[in-house]
Structure 1
Amino acid sequence: MSPLWTASAIAAACQGEASADFSVGGVAFDSREVTPGELFIAMKGEATDGHKFIDKAIAAGAAGILCETAIDHPHVRVADSAAALDALGAASRARSHAKIIGVTGSAGKTGTKEALYAALDRFRPGKAHRSVKSYNNHVGVPLSLARMAATADYGVFEMGINHAGELAALTRLVRPHVAIVTTIAPAHIEFFGSEEAIADAKGEIFEGLEPGGTAIVPFDSPHYARLRAKAERHAAHIVSFGLGEGADVRAVDWLPDGQGGSLVTAQVQDALLCYTLAQAGAHWVANSLAVLAAVKAVGADLPAAGLAFAEMGGLAGRGARHRVDFGDGKILVIDESYNANPASMAATLGQLKDESADRKVAILGSMRELGGESDRYHAALAAPLIAAGVQFALLVGEEMAPLAKALEGQVDFAHVPAHGDAKAQLGGLIRPGDAILIKGSNSVGLSHLVTALINGDI
């Protein structure tokens, strides 16, 4: 099997100097994630300096180091490790023959990326590559590119932003043949000021499209026309997806399958596809339509994508479902603890509405980075929470105070300042037969509650 990178290729890409001949099978910039045979990139960050962890990376089995100083281990020395990572990512993209797909949006990026990878990998096993975790920023994107094998037929890259202009730089590095915007919602709105500004920033993904490229846009979004106008300036082809009549790729029909997923019939331009989607909720139906649009755009197989949808398990923090022994029965824990914004909160509460359970419980953490509209967005969660038939809500974080006020006299609830306080209350709140949705911004730490419930520590 060919190595991912040789020392000479790394040196040529990064304008560095190799101390010895070596080859690597992977790339990492976190010494805790290094596995045997990988390249460790020692970068200087705001909090620490990766050069301090070179010995730890070597002990973990690193085959070579990319660094800014001479060391007593096989290495490539460069002037700036961060710039070298960008250069290595660009070199990986330049040598690749793969069809490249970029994914962005206010919600659904990671799930769509994973579903798209699953669809392409099922069609060409071992020939699809994607960014792992949520490596979607100015460091994660070039790292994900650098990890792509030269033999890959498909590459799927997630791209996220906090400020205008960031996505333009990332998409020009990725140079996608297909660019997807999943949805527009007030995520990070304190940095943008309006949803329109968020739509403009997400639309930057189209600026990096390769000639003849395809833009995939959300038909049901109130910002559809804005996104389409942006796409028209950069894309040779524009494909819309959504639940509404008129979308190029749309759900003709869908309903819960009784197993926590959905049965979907989709019109994919000139093709009709029926498939089972392991994930629940209208938002996942929409995500699957975006995936099908991309699969068709790169000439892959739609039936293979349908089979992949049925096989996909839930992602940790993004919809993973756990049936856990509790007391003399079981509880269902729906783990949405990784992220939250007003749109994704409403979508997952809508999913809870369709759950069959003795009682529906929502453990909701604060939504962060909503700026001056934070109180209004939190209070507005009362309507979807009530519509979902939630019988008890545990609200975590000070930003949840407006929702607590809105729920008074309508739904039983408790409001606590932090996840530790929530854990202390759970033992007396949870009952066998409960379906429990856990969702909040990652910084609130609700993943600790998921772990405690799964491990029986409540």
Structure 2
Amino acid sequence: MADTPLWTFDELAKATGGTLTGIGEGASRAATGVNFDSRALQPGDVFLALKGVRDGHDFVPQAFQSGAAIAVTRRPIEGGACLLVPDVQKALEDMAVFARDRAVKARRGAVTGSVGKTSVTQMVMQGLSLAGRAHSAIKSFNNHIGVPLTLARMPADTERAVFEIGMNHADEITPLSEFVAPHAVIITTVGGAHTENFPDGDAGVARAKAEIFDGLLPGGLAILNADNQWFDFLSQQARGAGALIAAFGEHNGVDAQLIEHRVNGDRASVAARFHGRDIIFSLAHTGRHQAINALATLLMLEALDVDLDTSLLALESFAALDGRGKVTRKAFKGGEITLIDESYNANPVSMRATLESLGTQPKSADSRKIVVLTDMLELGTEEAALHAGLAAVIEAQDIDKVYLAGPLMKNLWNALPLPLRGAYAETAAELSPRLIEGLQGGDVVMVKGSNGSKAGLIAKTLLALDE
């Protein structure tokens, strides 16, 4: 048990209004963590019996056997201490607000956007960690469970914290932003994500992203992408919420402006102007869009009281995340291939950004640029046209061959010129062997697609080539 527990049982009862029961004589009355997944539970954790595909109450005995300090439940369950509450989800939310308010020194940031929010959140966390006692989610916990869970896991002595906030529908971001009550927020960009849930397309997405201002503290900072077509709308919404505005992008006069982006092997050199000061730094991401994300990160770190030197050091040392631009070189057919793994997710905005990034990368006379794409999902009635429309983006880049998987990508296959066609298959699993057969040493291969269309399976297959 840690010297300072994350939660005492009395704090849990105070936060939730729940009733403590089943505490054995001499048992500890404190917990060191919070979890809702009995498979990931650590000894000393609070176990939340949330209702998912199955009722979390079914897993309470297993949680006790794994060493849970206490379970938050709707009814008493034998085997350990329970905190009885009418609604476990509401109890988690109450814990989130309590944990937020007890961390009195913590400055908080929140990040949303159609593209790049996980990368930006983790870039920010890199800087916060260098600056002092910092807190964030251990993974992309950005929904109605993940955001309050991350808050509930925040130690009382936290100095700075950052939270990722996602959405699939309208009215999802507002309550999450209100839980966090951030001092500063970032909207990375707006467009082309979850549009099947918004009849008016990107306009609806922009309104939903603007909900992040609902929880922003008075006088807080809204960090917005000046290159995005919704910048003026989002600025107006932010000012209406009482926020100050900081802008980033390639436009002249913004607070953080990208001046030059050059790819040097597996890294990129970035020249920028930050509040009028010329700066240069290196990134382990070769995509131009990640340089833009880095500028948003600098503004957020500044808002959370991290000095610029520390922020630049954080960007220099930040490693690309799996599935979000990580570059790996693999021995292959007497040479090597370079894999750019962008397989975590995809929408038209991120597709365009990564394709353009690949197009700008230098290549030798004996190398080729290969694109491997799987379906983009949740795009609504325009999905066929949005897939076919990628052909123009690809043709404008210095790309040699295109490999595609999925019924929606058939629209792109039909739109591609014959010389660009590598292979097409209905599924990622069927495409993988055809891709490997067509590759040769020296190829630079970018893999991208939505989670549900299994782009990650192709990336994993390529990563395992020499195993």
- Give distance in 2, aligned partners of 1:132 and 1:114: 9
The residue number in structure 2 matching 1:173 is 179
Give secondary structure in 1 for the equivalent of 2:58. helix
- 1:220 match: secondary structure: coil
Offset of residue 169 of structure 1: 1.4
Percent identity for Structure 1 against Structure 2? 37
**1:288 counterpart SS class:** helix
Separation in structure 2 between the aligned mates of residue 386 and residue 57 of structure 1, nearest angstrom: 54
Alpha-carbon shift at residue 155 of structure 1 (Å): 0.9
Q: Alpha-carbon deviation of 1:405? A: 1.0
8 A contact 2:372–2:403 mirrored in 1: yes
Shift of 1:230: 0.3
Shift in CA distance, 355/134, structure 1 to aligned 2, threshold 3 Å: farther
Matched letter for residue 250 of structure 1? Q
Q: What one-letter code is carried by the residue in structure 2 that aligns with 1:205?
A: I
TM-score by length of 1: 0.95
Equivalent residue number for residue 297 of structure 1: 303
Question: Does 2:344 correspond to 1:338?
Answer: yes
Work out the number of aligned pairs and report it: 454
For residue 12 of structure 2, the aligned residue among 10, 13, 22 is 10
Residue in structure 2 matched with residue 189 of structure 1 by the alignment: 195
Q: Confirm or deny that 1:401 pairs with 2:407.
A: no
Corresponding position of 1:111: 119
CA displacement at 1:108 relative to structure 2: 0.5
| 2:337–2:441 contact (8 Å) kept in structure 1 | yes
Letter of the 2:322 counterpart = A
5 Å matches for 1:253-268? 253-256=260-263, 258-268=264-274
Which amino acid counterpart does residue 425 of structure 2 have in structure 1?
V
The aligned amino acid for 1:101 is: G
Contact 1:104/1:180 (CA < 8 Å) preserved in 2? Answer: yes
- Which deviates the most, 330-339 or 247-256? 247-256
The 5 Å alignment of 1:207-356 reads 207-256=214-263, 258-353=264-359, 354-356=361-363
1:266–1:273 Cα contact (<8 Å) kept: yes
Query: Contact 2:330/2:466 (CA < 8 Å) preserved in 1?
Result: no
Moved more, 75-84 or 340-349: 75-84
Q: Which letter maps to 1:88?
A: M
Q: Distance in 2 between matches of 1:196 and 1:106?
A: 12
Aligned residues of 2:282 and 2:316 also touching (Cα < 8 A): yes
CA shift digits 1:139-163 (9 cap, x unpaired): 1110111111111111100001111
**In 1, distance between residues paired with 2:242 and 2:164?**
19
Partner SS state of residue 68, structure 2: coil
How far did residue 427 of structure 1 move?
A: 3.1
Return the match for 1:372 from 367, 381, 390.
Answer: 381
- Is 1:388 aligned to residue 397 of structure 2? yes
Shift of 1:322: 1.5
Question: What amino acid sits opposite 1:4 in the alignment?
Answer: L
* Cα deviation digits, residues 280-314 of structure 1 (max 9, x gap): 12211110111111111222111111111111111
Give the one of 139, 142, 150 matched to 1:136: 142
Equivalent pair of 2:115/2:350 in contact (CA under 8 Å) = yes
TM-score norm. by structure 2 comes to: 0.94
**CA-to-partner distance for each residue in 1:419-454, whole Å, 9 max, x for gaps?**
111123233122222111111000011212222221
Residue correspondence of structure 1 range 54-133 to structure 2 within 5 A? 54-71=60-77, 72-97=79-104, 98-124=106-132, 127-133=133-139
CA distance in 1, matches of 2:12, 2:260: 50
User: What amino acid is the match of 2:131?
Assistant: F
TM-superposed CA distance for 1:330, in Å, is: 1.6
Q: Write the distance in 2 (CA, Å) between the matches of 1:319 and 1:225.
A: 29
For residue 33 of structure 1, give the secondary structure of its aligned residue in structure 2. Answer: coil
Aligned to 1:411: 420
Please report the RMSD computed on the Cα atoms of aligned residues, expressed in angstroms. 1.6
Classify 1:451/1:61 alpha carbon distance in 2 versus 1 (closer, same or farther; 3 Å): farther
Match of 2:37? 30
Q: How far off its partner does 1:24 sit?
A: 1.8
- The 3 A distance-change label for structure 1 pair 355 and 64 is farther
SS of the residue corresponding to residue 367 of structure 1 reads coil
Indicate how the Cα distance of structure 1 residues 6 and 161 shifts in structure 2: closer, same or farther if over 3 A, else same: same
Paired AA for residue 116 in structure 2: G
Report if the CA contact (8 A) 2:423-2:435 is conserved.
Answer: no
> 1:58: how far off?
3.0
Contact 2:422/2:438, CA 8 A, preserved across alignment: no
Q: Structure 1 runs of 4+ off > 4 angstroms? A: none
Aligned AA (1:185): G
Task: State the alpha-carbon separation in 2 of the partners of residues 305 and 283 from structure 1.
Answer: 18
Structure 2 unmatched runs, 5+: none
Look up the match of 1:427.
436
Q: Is the 8 A contact 1:189 1:369 kept in 2?
A: yes
Please tell me whether the aligned partners of residues 322 and 334 of structure 1 are also in contact (alpha carbons under 8 angstroms).
yes
Q: Which amino acid aligns with 2:363?
A: S
User: Paired residue for 1:359?
Assistant: 368
Q: Which runs of 5+ in 1 are unaligned?
A: none
